[in-house]
């Protein structure tokens, strides 16, 4: 899984800490999601997409194995 | 329960556990139970206190910076670490009973059952901490 979170964060000038605070999770959670090491729940994915004014399918790109 | 209430509950639990440890040490000292066992208990309580202080300080810092005590990822790690620690410690239990049988067969003095139990609980706790630290670094599979 790839994500465009880092790219969109940069667009809105948000750090990982800012994004984590806005959606009420720990900073490491954002770090792990960005690195593809944690697949968030649908609700968390939706919350991230909302803050980054995007949609879940734009943010998360699932690739075939 | 919000993060602040959870943090207060965590601090309360830490204080109760440490106070229980101190009371136990004082009671064993007064009862004149062997000194070595009292020293081991004191070392365990002191190491628990050090870990608890470090954890409480980190949690307090995180709360001040506006981060929650835990979130869905930390809960997922805790659940998986608990599940894995349980199964791994079952193998440890089989190993321990094998060692005890061997000791009995060779007529070597073995530990009392209560102490085997304490070793098992300590091993289960250590396995949980190790698996938790590993998953925290490597990530939990989705």
Q: What pLDDT digit, counting tens, does each position of B117-134 carry?
A: 888 888 898 999 999 999
Based on the structure, what is the number of domains in chain A? 1
Assess whether pLDDT exceeds 80 at residue B93. Answer: yes
Handedness of CA A32, A36, A37, A41 (dihedral sign): positive
pLDDT reported for residue B51: 84
Q: What ranges do the domains of chain B cover?
A: 1-69, 72-142
Question: What is the rounded distance in angstroms from the CA atom of residue A54 to the CA atom of residue A31?
Answer: 19
**pTM (2 d.p.):** 0.71
Q: Among partner residues B66, B138, B142, which is closest to A21 by beta-carbon distance?
A: B66
Cα separation, B41 vs B47, whole angstroms? 10
Per-residue pLDDT tens over the stretch B27-55: 877 777 677 777 777 888 888 888 888 88
How much is the pLDDT for B8?
82
Q: What is the pLDDT of residue A45?
A: 94
- The per-residue pLDDT of chain A, averaged, comes to 90
Q: Are A59 and A23 in contact (CB under 8 A)?
A: no
User: Is it the case that residue A64 has pLDDT exceeding 80?
Assistant: no
CATH code for position A30: 1.10.260.40
Closest residue to B74, CB basis, from A17, A26, A40 = A26
pLDDT value, residue A65: 58
Say what the pLDDT of residue A13 is.
92
Give A8 or B2, the one with higher predicted confidence: A8
Decide: B75 and A44 in contact? Cβ < 8 Å: no
> Which region among A18-22, B18-22, B72-76, B99-103 has the lowest average model confidence (pLDDT)?
B18-22
- pLDDT value of position B78: 92
What pLDDT does residue B142 have?
58
Kindly state whether A23 is in contact with chain B, defined as any CB-CB distance less than 8 angstroms.
no
CB contact under 8 A, A25 and B65: no
Average pLDDT rounded to a whole number, residues B16-24: 83
Domain housing A48: 2-61
Neighbouring C-beta atoms of residue A64, cutoff 10 Å? 3
Quickly state the pLDDT bin for B1 (edges 50, 70, 90): low
What percent of chain B stands above pLDDT 90? 23
Chain A CB contacts of B68 under 8 Å are: 24-26
């Amino acid at each position: 899984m790839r994500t465009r979170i880092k790219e969109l964060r940069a667009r809105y000038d948000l750090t990982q800490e800012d994004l984590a605070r806005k959606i009420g999770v720990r900073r490491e959670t954002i770090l792990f999601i960005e690195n593809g090491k944690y697949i968030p729940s649908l609700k968390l994915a939706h919350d991230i997409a909302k803050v980054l004014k995007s949609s879940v399918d734009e943010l998360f790109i699932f690739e075939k194995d | 329960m919000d993060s602040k209430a959870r943090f207060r509950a965590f601090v309360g639990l830490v204080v109760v556990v440490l106070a229980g440890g101190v009371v136990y040490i004082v009671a064993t000292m007064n009862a004149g139970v062997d000194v070595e066992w009292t020293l081991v208990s004191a070392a365990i309580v002191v190491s628990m206190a050090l870990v608890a202080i470090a954890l409480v300080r980190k949690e307090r810092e995180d709360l001040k910076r506006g981060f929650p005590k835990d979130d869905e990822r930390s809960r997922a790690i805790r659940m998986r670490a608990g599940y894995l620690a349980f199964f791994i410690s079952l193998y440890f239990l089989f190993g321990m009973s094998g060692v005890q049988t061997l000791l009995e067969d060779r007529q070597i003095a073995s530990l009392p059952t209560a102490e085997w139990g304490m070793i098992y609980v300590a091993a289960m706790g250590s396995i949980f901490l190790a698996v938790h630290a590993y998953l925290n670094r490597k990530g939990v599979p989705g």
